[in-house]
Amino acid sequence: MTKIYSVQKRHYNKLANFLSNFEIEIVTKKEKSDVFWYNRFTLWWDNNPAFNEDLLRGLILDCDGKIEGFYGFIPSFFQLSGEQIIVFNGTTWMVNKKFRGINGLKLIVRMIDYTKDSIYFATSSVGSIAEMHLKFGFKTIFSEERLKTYYVFINPWNIFLQKLPKLLFFRFLLTLFYPIIVLYRLIINLMIETAREYYETRIIEKADGLFDELWDSTKIKFQNTNVRTSEVINWYCSNNGVGNNILFGCYLNNRLLGYMLCMSETENNKLKKLTVMDIWGQIDDDRVVCSLLNKCLKYGVENDYDLVLLPVFHEKIRSFSRKFFFNSRVSSGSYLFKAKEKVLNKIGKEQSYFTYLQGDWGLF
């Protein structure tokens, strides 16, 4: 007999075991470890400043005492019409194939009902999960030609080696283009290394009171966006899962002008990738955005990354990327949310700013 119940701390052992042994096509070695999932539970709930014991961690689908499915929630602070609320980010819909019909869908139905007075964000790199949410009435977060991302190929040789079919013909073809690839890398590295940083920009180990001052002075720019206090940022930066997050700060005379959060990961243990997750502060100032993005690219070159991804959260990122003639394409993955009509109207009519802080990006 199947039943659905909410996740409690006492379920962590069985749930970690279920998730670490779940069969999926793309999985890292870390995800096959119980310790990885214990760390997710600690990050998502136990150490999350937006979580309290009155909130739902997630739901477990159980059949005769055995876990057959799970869907989690990560609560986070959000500013809606200038007021701070708690919203919910779906994560890790994992249901055994035998139970993916009505029983698996019941998990989402229950989640929708639980969040009906808030906002429910759902991001996924899996197309079938996105289609499932769209059928339940979810809307796209980024409506302007979806969301474009600029790709900065720092080490194109390694990218081609990993992405091209491992056939002798393609390897031979690649060797013919090797001189061009070397020349490209010299040019792109020179452009990045000589790019100007207008303000002092450095890696930050821990967000301090200057981040709170920045949030208090800039939160009026957008009525609807994520809360970005030092407590929230430090929680984000505590992630050490499939990827780990890196924080850059931009300063003038010890005054914080803006920050940028990036996620570092190694794709399939082969391609080293750096992705901009969030950028905030005086982002209407070209010099602040340029200083942060230039520092990100220099960090990518200096630390042997293969690829740096610059999603266009703000028009200033698009302007910066076009100057370098970076390649762009529509971002992979889905970025969806669901809320009552009055909330949707607020987000549609008021100034709203969304980044990869929506959903579980950067928290996995």
Whether the domain at 2-140 and the domain at 148-330 fall into the same CATH topology: yes
CA 50, 53, 54, 56 torsion: positive or negative? positive
What does the pLDDT read at residue 178?
73
What does the pLDDT read at residue 260?
96
* Residues contacting 307, CB < 8 A, separation 6+: 151, 152, 153, 154, 155, 159, 271, 272, 273, 274
- pLDDT value at 305 more than 80: yes
CA 329, 334, 340, 341 torsion: positive or negative? positive
- pLDDT value at 241 more than 70: no
User: Which stretches within 238-340 are classed as H helix?
Assistant: 286-302, 315-323
- Pairing between β-strand 119-124 and β-strand 83-95 as defined by DSSP bridges: parallel
- pLDDT value at 268 more than 70: no
Q: Which residue has the higher pLDDT, 190 or 151?
A: 151
What are the backbone angles phi and psi of residue 81, rounded to the nearest 5°?
50, 35
What does the pLDDT read at residue 325?
60
- pLDDT value at 144 more than 60: no
Q: Confirm if 312 and 331 have CB atoms less than 8 A apart.
A: no
Q: What is the dihedral of CA 31, 32, 35, 40, to 10 degrees?
A: 30
Name the band, by pLDDT with cuts 50, 70 and 90, for residue 171: low
Question: Domain 2-140: which CATH class?
Answer: alpha beta
CA atoms within 13 A on the CB side of 317: 24
Question: Model-level pTM?
Answer: 0.90
In 10 A of CB 98, how many CB atoms?
11
- Which of 64-78, 135-149, 178-192 reaches the highest mean pLDDT? 64-78
* Residues contacting 272, CB < 8 A, separation 6+: 264, 265, 266, 304, 305, 306, 307
* Lowest model confidence (mean pLDDT) among 107-121, 138-152, 281-295, 304-318: 138-152
CA 80, 82, 83, 84 torsion: positive or negative? positive
Any idea which fold 148-330 has? Aminopeptidase (3.40.630)
Name the band, by pLDDT with cuts 50, 70 and 90, for residue 61: very high
| Bridge partner list, 85 | 78
- Pairing between β-strand 271-281 and β-strand 307-311 as defined by DSSP bridges: parallel
Task: Provide the residue ranges of all domains of the chain, joining segments of one domain with +.
Answer: 2-140, 148-330
Q: What is the DSSP letter of 30?
A: G
Containing H/E element for 71? strand 66-80
Residue type, 286: D
In terms of Cα–Cα distance, which of 48, 49, 50, 67 is closest to 7? 67
Containing H/E element for 112? helix 102-114
In 10 A of CB 273, how many CB atoms?
20
Q: What is the mean pLDDT of residues 290-313?
A: 92
Residue type, 66: K
CA atoms within 13 A on the CB side of 75: 21
Q: Count of residues for the chain?
A: 364
Would you state the structure tokens that stand for residue 270, as one six-digit string?
């082969």
How far apart CA 121 and CA 131 sit, in angstroms, is 14
Averaged pLDDT of the chain: 86
| Bridge partner list, 245 | 263
